[in-house]
Amino acid sequence: MATCELCGKKPSFGHNVSFSKRRTNRIWRPNIQKTTLTVPGGQSVQVRICTRCMRTLAKTR
């Protein structure tokens, strides 16, 4: 579900650590957005990619 179709980035798991060193579970989710890409050949494809990949694609356009 929350996976980038280009780089494969997905949620990672770890702990919140309080001042008293008490640990609780937490999840870091990538910022996944739906966007339309133009593929060679003039075809448009809707993909779910992370914002890091969106920035990288904007540089190469």
Question: Domain 12-60 - what CATH class?
Answer: mainly beta
pTM higher than the cut 0.85: no
Model confidence at 18: pLDDT above 80: yes
pLDDT for 61: 67
Whether 30 has a pLDDT exceeding 80, the answer reads: yes
Please give the Cα distance from 53 to 11 (Å, whole number).
Answer: 16
If you compute the radius of gyration of the chain from its CA atoms, what whole number of angstroms results?
16
pLDDT tens, position by position, 39-57: 888 899 999 999 999 999 8
Q: Tell me: pLDDT of 23 over 70.
A: yes
Strand intervals (E) in 3-61: 12-17, 23-28, 32-39, 43-50
Enumerate the domain spans of the chain. Answer: 12-60
